[in-house]
Amino acid sequence: MAFTDINKYLGGYASGFYKYTRPQLSVSYKGVKNNGGKIGFRGGLIGNATQYVSPDTTYNSLNMPNYILTISQNESSEPGIYVNYINSNYGIIGTPQGLTEENRVNGNLGIFDTYNKLSPPKGIGDIVASGPFEEWIIDNGLKVTGKKVNFYLEITANCPIIKLENYQYLSIDGTMKRISRETVIEDVAPSWILNSGFPSGEDVTQKYYINNTWTTEKDSVTTKKILEITTKKKSSLCLYVDENNTSEYDTRLYDLNENFTIINYIENGEGGQVPELTENMRKYTYLSKLNVVSVSVFNTNIPIFNDLNNVSNYLALVLDDADTTDFIIKNALNPDNVITQTSDTANSGISIGETPLETGYSRNVFNKMFALDFPAINEISGNIFNADTSVQSALLDGLKLYGANPMDCIIDLTYYPFDVKSVVKTTSQKNIFFGSYKMDLENDVNFLGQPRCVINMGRVIYTPVFNDFRDFEPYTQFYIYLPYIGVNKLDISNYYKKAMELQYIIDFTSGTCIAVILADNIIADSFAGTIGVKQSISSIDYNAYSQNVARNISNDVKSAVGGFFTPAVKDILNGGNLKNAAGGFLDFEANIFETNQSLNSQKITIRSNGSPSASMCMPQYAFTYCIYNKQVRPENEKDIVGLPTNKGGKVKDFNGFLKCSKVSLKSTCTVHEKKKIYELLQSGIYI
Amino acid sequence: MAFVVTFYQTSSRVNDLNKELRQLNQFGCTATDPISPEELTLMIDYGGFTFDTRSNYAYIDDFRRYYFVKYDMFEGAAFCKLTVDPLMSFKNDILNADIIAERSSSSYEPYLPDSYVKNLNISQKSVARFKNVFETGETGSHYVIRIGGK
């Protein structure tokens, strides 16, 4: 008899403070029996089962037994089919009080006895019942009357808080043919989980989309928790960890889009299959080996690594070796990207994150701002400069308030390199007022509800290279390139082993921006720039704008030519053609490093981008880069001359080489000998 | 003054606090002139016993001190110069001495600068890119117009 290992989890479990889901397992078989008589089969589930206290009290009800196995005869059109439990062993764990004759008749073969064991109620996740789930066998159990009967057999599991371990379906004997393609786990309604440290959901900062939940598994040693979570935002991944922990961790990343394949497994921080970057690695299950199952921290964006060392480094950062009841994952350690020299998977579009930064409110009643796409602005321009003089006449009437130059009514027109509608609350309309003149439009214009916005550019984590003093200046230098702002040097100590979050605050009134860099959610740096590209409406605008740009270039950009730009960029700064410059800009990142071959003579120039329009040709994403020297450290240094320390104690507290800066010796030796001992200790001895 | 000298062979480092010793032989000596327990010279030509030229270390129990041994041979006699090894001689005192360690093999602080690490004139770099990008195409970007009017 063949066994089919379905290797799936049955039921679902959700702890803590997020919504409970109730997946259901079901498999169907179809049988045909000719000429009446009895048919039989051996089937069911074998393995171990464990039932947990559900977070949803509905399913802990004393009045509600939890069926885990049901045989039904749906779609049977012929009379006379009934289930006869001759030679049957019923699958059940716990005590069998729940298995009544009525249940047997109804085909409910396996029932968890939850009645007695829930009094007094236990905590969420506690084991209610556990034990082997036996094979059930029905030999000649189905008596069929009639000459030809089609019937169906469904085996369903309907207990939401069950984990079946190492269980298998026995294949159905005889004429039964499996008709469901595979074990079906019922789609559960998506629900939201709240990122909060409290069961009540207070202190919520973000909410995540949960697609399905899986079971927990408890034994006397460890608890494993499997949870699949995706966030609603594209490319957002989730990382979770339990509130309490031991010093041991098994961490696994699953790719659920590929049949629940383990794509990375790390046991106690060692080993593991390193995943390759794939498009569908957007959804993960993160499994940890912990004692307590309550979820305390959710983070988006599990990093994707392409190097095992980076995996180890990351885990060393996020997993604390010490036993602690505090959160063991630092909240902010959720980088979006690979910390290597290879590029990340392609990203497009601006993803707006919820931000800790305040967005202030102001509204100007004498003028209004609208976000428009190109067709809309083109339509407005066409209307103003329409050959129909009646339109212009009406427009001029509406603009009398603006005196000699009616174009002063258009106070500002600025281009922004992002979808304004997606970052600011807008109201769509099909007309716009110029003074008191109402211009009807075919295209939508979007009234801006706020004069500024915040754009979350993502997170990266600064991963130390050496894990010692060389990770800091002057041995390592840390820079950030910010679109529309430029290259700036950062103090590496502000970001060491911390998550960097970059947010752009953009002022639509002036077109300026401030890039705020947070280190573990604390503002560490900010830099200002100009992101809005002013569009000239009149010659006055043009002159003012061009002079401003020219001044910026003169003051800032040209000073950087020697150290930074490619010859092509220098070319355009010196009046060359744009085509050459474009090629040069493509080499931007590479050129940074070519010009900084040595920290000993590093030439990185801190400068602003000057013109926002020119900045549009530069990289449109921010990136950090560390530059550090290669070094030679003697392999036997530690044994021969030790490593630096400044610890105090007695000589006997140390082993191996010891060199002392200060010595206090009490001895009966002579003064000369004492002096010699001092000299030896200060030059180094071996203990 | 009579005393006994025990000669050893050792391959330990001079600045080893604990030296590994292999005993060779012992001689009874008598001093005819004043001697210092820190440094003394012996002439060994005694009763047919021959000085073992492998000797490079010694111990004199009367002085409770260990010595480094340097010798000269002359007409079958060995002239040994013994210089005190204060590390072995006062080992227990030293082990209990209070110190501030500057360098150690067993207890160290990786974030203290280390002068033994030498820079090569070759730099390396690592890059981390923030995920989101600005869009400069016609789609995904917007104009913002500010207009006077109600």
Residue A171 in contact with residue A2, Cβ under 8 Å?
A: yes
Shortest Cα distance, chain A CAs vs residue B105, angstroms: 4
pLDDT exceeds cutoff 50 at A49? yes
What is the longest distance spanned by two Cα atoms in chain A? 116
Judged by a CB distance cut-off of 8 A, whether residue A460 touches chain B is: yes
Provide the number of CB pairs (under 8 Å) joining chain A to chain B. Answer: 392
Instruction: List the single range of A39-43, A327-331, B71-75 with lowest mean pLDDT.
Output: A327-331
Name the range with the highest mean pLDDT among A409-423, A609-623, A653-667.
A653-667
Distance CA(A336)–CA(A468), nearest Å, equals 25
Selected residue with higher pLDDT from A183 and A544: A544
**CB atoms A658 and B105 under 8 Å:** yes
**pLDDT score at B126:** 78
**CB atoms B149 and A409 under 8 Å:** yes
pLDDT exceeds cutoff 70 at B53? yes
Distance CA(A337)–CA(A621), nearest Å, equals 12
Percent of chain A with pLDDT over 90: 6
**pLDDT score at A291:** 28
A244's tokens: 């309490």
A453's tokens: 């916005």
**pLDDT score at B57:** 94
Distance CA(B57)–CA(B68), nearest Å, equals 5
Pick from A467, A651, A686: CB nearest B16: A686
**pLDDT score at A280:** 30
φ/ψ bin of A592: left (φ > 0), alpha (ψ from -120 to 50), beta (otherwise): alpha
Distance CA(B85)–CA(B93), nearest Å, equals 14
Instruction: List the single range of A246-250, B44-48, B93-97 with lowest mean pLDDT.
Output: A246-250
Three-class SS of A610-659? CCHHHHCCCCCEEEEEEEEEEEECCCCHHHHCCEECCCEEEHHHCCCEEE
pLDDT exceeds cutoff 80 at B23? yes
Distance CA(B76)–CA(B29), nearest Å, equals 17
Judged by a CB distance cut-off of 8 A, whether residue B138 touches chain A is: yes
Residue A280 in contact with residue A234, Cβ under 8 Å?
A: no
Pick from A401, A643, A677: CB nearest B86: A677
Pick from A338, A398, A645: CB nearest B103: A645
Distance CA(B58)–CA(B25), nearest Å, equals 10
Report the amino acid identity of residue A232.
K
Shortest Cα distance, chain A CAs vs residue B77, angstroms: 30
Residues in chain A with CB shorter than 8 Å from the CB of B130 are: 336-337, 457-460, 502, 621-624
**pLDDT score at A401:** 63
Give A410-456 as a DSSP string. Answer: EEEEEEESS-HHHHS-EEEEEEEEEBTEEEEEEEEEEEES-SEEEEE
**pLDDT score at A406:** 61
Determine the distance from the C-alpha atom of residue A499 to the mean position of all C-alpha atoms in its chain, rounded to a whole number: 13
Residues whose CB falls within 8 Å of the CB of residue A169, separated by 6 or more in sequence, listed in order: A3, A4, A6, A27, A43, A44, A45, A155, A183
pLDDT exceeds cutoff 70 at A647? yes
Distance CA(A431)–CA(A443), nearest Å, equals 9
Distance CA(A371)–CA(A427), nearest Å, equals 10
Strand-strand pairing, A284-290 and A250-255: antiparallel
**CB atoms A416 and B143 under 8 Å:** yes
**pLDDT score at A601:** 39
Confidence band, pLDDT 50/70/90 cuts, at residue B99: very high
Confidence band, pLDDT 50/70/90 cuts, at residue A658: very high
Determine the distance from the C-alpha atom of residue A604 to the mean position of all C-alpha atoms in its chain, rounded to a whole number: 33
Distance CA(A561)–CA(A245), nearest Å, equals 54
**pLDDT score at A252:** 41
Residues whose CB falls within 8 Å of the CB of residue A32, separated by 6 or more in sequence, listed in order: A148, A149, A150, A151, A175
Confidence band, pLDDT 50/70/90 cuts, at residue B80: confident
Instruction: List the single range of A239-243, A409-413, B86-90 with lowest mean pLDDT.
Output: A239-243
Percent of chain A with pLDDT over 70: 33
Judged by a CB distance cut-off of 8 A, whether residue B134 touches chain A is: yes
Residue B72 in contact with residue B25, Cβ under 8 Å?
A: no
pLDDT exceeds cutoff 70 at A585? no
Judged by a CB distance cut-off of 8 A, whether residue B99 touches chain A is: yes
Determine the distance from the C-alpha atom of residue A498 to the mean position of all C-alpha atoms in its chain, rounded to a whole number: 16
Residues in chain A with CB shorter than 8 Å from the CB of B104 are: 642-643, 645, 647, 654, 656-659
A583's tokens: 């090629």
pLDDT single digits (tens) A493-519: 888 877 788 888 888 888 888 999 988
pLDDT single digits (tens) A669-678: 999 999 999 9
Distance CA(A471)–CA(A492), nearest Å, equals 8
Going by the DSSP 8-state scheme, the letter that residue A358 receives in this structure is -
Judged by a CB distance cut-off of 8 A, whether residue B106 touches chain A is: yes
Residue A532 in contact with residue A415, Cβ under 8 Å?
A: yes
Residues in chain B with CB shorter than 8 Å from the CB of A365 are: 150
* Mean pLDDT, residues A512-530 taken together: 87
**CB atoms B17 and A686 under 8 Å:** yes
- The dihedral sign for the CA sequence A582, A586, A588, A593: negative
Asked if the bond preceding A451 is cis, omega within 30° of 0, the reply is no
pLDDT single digits (tens) A377-430: 888 888 777 767 676 777 777 666 666 566 677 788 888 888 888 777 778 888
Pick from B90, B130, B140: CB nearest A457: B130
Half-sphere exposure of A427 (CA within 13 A, CB side): 7
Neighbours of A364 (CB within 10 A): 12
* Mean pLDDT, residues A524-551 taken together: 68
Residues in chain A with CB shorter than 8 Å from the CB of B125 are: 341, 593, 596, 625-628
pLDDT single digits (tens) A103-155: 444 444 444 444 344 444 455 455 555 555 444 444 334 444 444 444 444 44
**pLDDT score at B13:** 92
Name the range with the highest mean pLDDT among A253-262, A359-368, A642-651.
A642-651
Pick from A624, A629, A684: CB nearest B123: A629
Selected residue with higher pLDDT from B13 and A252: B13
* Mean pLDDT, residues A311-318 taken together: 44
Name the range with the highest mean pLDDT among A72-81, A342-351, A422-431, A564-573.
A422-431
pLDDT exceeds cutoff 70 at A56? no
Please identify among residues 42-61 of chain B the ones whose CB lies closer than 8 Å to any CB of chain A. none
Determine the distance from the C-alpha atom of residue A181 to the mean position of all C-alpha atoms in its chain, rounded to a whole number: 33
On average, the pLDDT of chain A sits at 54
On average, the pLDDT of chain B sits at 85
**pLDDT score at B87:** 93
pLDDT single digits (tens) A441-484: 888 888 887 777 888 888 777 767 777 888 888 888 889 999 88
pLDDT exceeds cutoff 90 at B101? yes
* Mean pLDDT, residues A557-569 taken together: 35
Neighbours of A542 (CB within 10 A): 13
**pLDDT score at A51:** 54
Instruction: List the single range of A123-137, A322-336, A500-514, B12-26 with lowest mean pLDDT.
Output: A322-336
Is A173 exposed, middle or buried, given 0-12, 13-18 or 19+ CB atoms closer than 10 A? middle
* Mean pLDDT, residues A587-601 taken together: 35
Residues in chain A with CB shorter than 8 Å from the CB of B149 are: 367-368, 398, 409, 432-437
What residue in B sits closest to A508 (Cα-Cα)?
B144
Distance CA(A79)–CA(A315), nearest Å, equals 63
Report the amino acid identity of residue A77.
S
pLDDT single digits (tens) B102-122: 999 988 888 898 888 888 888
**CB atoms B106 and A620 under 8 Å:** no
Report the amino acid identity of residue B24.
L
- The partner residues of A28 in beta bridges, in order of sequence, read A154
Judged by a CB distance cut-off of 8 A, whether residue B36 touches chain A is: no
pLDDT single digits (tens) A171-216: 333 333 333 323 333 333 333 333 333 333 334 333 333 333 223 3
- ipTM beyond cut 0.95: no
Residues in chain A with CB shorter than 8 Å from the CB of B146 are: 367-369, 410-413, 508-509
Give A172-206 as a DSSP string. Answer: PPTT-EE-SSS-EEPP---EEEEE-SSTT-TT--E
Helices (H) and strands (E) in chain B, counts: 2, 9
- The dihedral sign for the CA sequence A484, A488, A493, A494: negative
B65's tokens: 């001190």
Residue B95 in contact with residue A650, Cβ under 8 Å?
A: yes
- The dihedral sign for the CA sequence A399, A404, A405, A410: negative
Name the range with the highest mean pLDDT among A255-259, A329-333, A403-407, A440-444.
A440-444
| A400 phi, psi to nearest 5 deg | -60, -30
pTM of the entire structure?
Answer: 0.51
Instruction: Please state, in angstroms and as integers, the Cα–Cα distance from residue A299 to each residue in A162, A303, A318, A473, A520, following that order.
Output: 27, 11, 11, 31, 13
Three-class SS of A229-293? ECCCCCCCCEEEEECCCCCCCEEEEEEHHHCCEEEEEEECCECCCCCCCCCCCCCEEEEEEECCC
